[in-house]
Amino acid sequence: MERPGDKMHNKTTAVVFGTLIASFCATQAYAQSSITLYGILDEFVGYQSAKSGGKNTSLTTLGNNGELTSRWGIRGSEDLGGGYRTTFDLENGFDPGTGKQQNAYRFFDRQAWVGVAAPYGEIRFGRQNTPMFAWSGNMDAFGAATYGSGFNDFANWLARVDNDISYLSPKLGTTQVELHYSVGGQPGTLAGNAVYQAGVQTTLGPVYVAVAYLNAANSTTSNRVQEIMAGGNYDYGWGKIYFGYFRANDVISATTGNALSNPAGKYDPSVGPVGNTPGNWHSTYSISADYRFNPFLSVGAGYAYIKDSSSLGNDASQMSAIVNYDLSKRTRLYGVVSRLNNYKGAQFKMAGASITTGSFLTPDAGQNETGVQIGIRHLF
């Protein structure tokens, strides 16, 4: 015969047991899925001086996005079991000086993709960074940004691509391969307005090396832009020595136009990736190095040169220095001084990570430019 006290005891046990099961299930669900809110804030005070508009001009500005582009994003994954995961990333670029989004044509202008990761690699679908953009910072003491990066100022690789299908291999030791195909959306053809990419990166002890290739066609495939990037770095213990090479028939000097309608992946998405007749080849060479005094303080210097293979001979060179001081793991102060020399009709300029129009000068043809930058960067 069951006593009243036994009923109460059984009810209490059931409640406790149910609570434990619910708690366990919630813990399991939390362990299987994750969502991360992240972002960057980057502001600087900049000074530039050049002959612009026929007269000596200087510009002092509170600018955005000197060392890294300010952004916020949401990335996540869900464990599907058996070594499979769903992954995604949504990323918006903005200017902290005004609070405006950087791209008027799209909200998630930097990344917007969903994918599936498996033991044999990951497949992603959507707007994605190019391997060139993702790996360029490993080839330059300036992180391929700031006034001081001649590698960034001259090379102008395609940063990201719409409607991109990518495959990222699992790491084979320290080596990883990426393959990309961007759907052009042209009736009757898979090649019109399509962008093809391939890249490989590897680490061998203190040496990091990467190579990436891009081929972008216009809507009729009558014109193609080709880009190749190669470089890496060597860690000598107290810092790194960096080398970078970029070659393209995407002509980026202001006097000869630009074969890519969307060179930074930030403009009207209705315009195809290739918008004019093929340009002449340009080759950029960059060498730089840094030295760490301690875990918080480092200095660096670099030289870059771009060779215009056309009859115009619009070459340019740049020498720069940088100081980085980390206040914490998330907050950095940086200072840059740089000198850019344009030859003949070249009009290259110091651009930084993604500096807003109006925050930089464009020198007249063949004119030189001096730049100084002091900035703060915070990660969250």
> What's residue 224's pLDDT?
85
* Whether the Cβ atoms of residue 66 and residue 354 lie closer than 8 Å to each other: no
For the chain, counts of helices (H) and of strands (E): 3, 17
Question: Residue 217: pLDDT band by 50, 70, 90 thresholds?
Answer: confident
Q: Please tell me the predicted confidence (pLDDT) of residue 189.
A: 84
168 vs 123: CA distance, rounded Å:
6
pTM over 0.85: yes
257 HSE (CA, 13 A, CB side): 11
Question: If 0-12 CB within 10 Å is exposed, 13-18 middle and 19+ buried, where does residue 202 land?
Answer: middle
Question: Could you tell me the two tokens for 72?
Answer: 């916020």
Mean pLDDT of the chain: 87
Identity of the amino acid at 224: R
pLDDT in tens, 19-54: 433 443 444 444 488 999 999 999 999 999 999 999
pLDDT digits (tens, 9 = 90+) for 122-155: 999 999 999 999 999 999 999 999 999 999 999 8
Look at residue 17 and tell me whether its pLDDT is greater than 50. Answer: no
Pick the range with the lowest mean pLDDT from 95-104, 137-146, 208-217, 342-351: 95-104
Distance CA 227, CA 154 (A): 13
What are the helix (H) ranges across the chain?
4-32, 131-136, 150-155
Cα separation of 371 and 302, whole Å?
14
Q: Please state, for a pLDDT cut of 90, what percent of the chain lies above it.
A: 66
Q: What share of the chain is helix, strand, coil (3-state, %, to 5)?
A: 10, 50, 40
Going by C-alpha positions, the residue among 275, 351, 280, 357 that lies closest to residue 318 is: 351
Distances (CA, A) of 313 to 37, 316, 348, 352, 364: 47, 9, 13, 25, 16
Q: Which domains are present in the chain?
A: 32-379 (2.40.160.10)
DSSP string of 296-325, one letter each residue: SEEEEEEEEEEEE-STT---EEEEEEEEEE
pLDDT digits (tens, 9 = 90+) for 290-328: 999 999 999 999 999 999 888 788 999 999 999 999 999
> How far is residue 279's CA from residue 143's CA, in Å, rounded to a whole number?
27
**Residue 13, φ and ψ in degrees, nearest 5:** -60, -40
Hey, which residues does 334 pair with through a beta bridge? Answer: 324, 375
pLDDT > 60? residue 350: yes
| Position 343 pLDDT exceeds 90 | yes
Q: What DSSP letter does each residue of 237-287 carry, written as one string?
A: SSSEEEEEEEEES---STTT--SBSSTTS-S-TTS-SB-SS----EEEEEE
Q: Which of 298, 18, 3, 274 is nearest to 158 (CA)?
A: 274
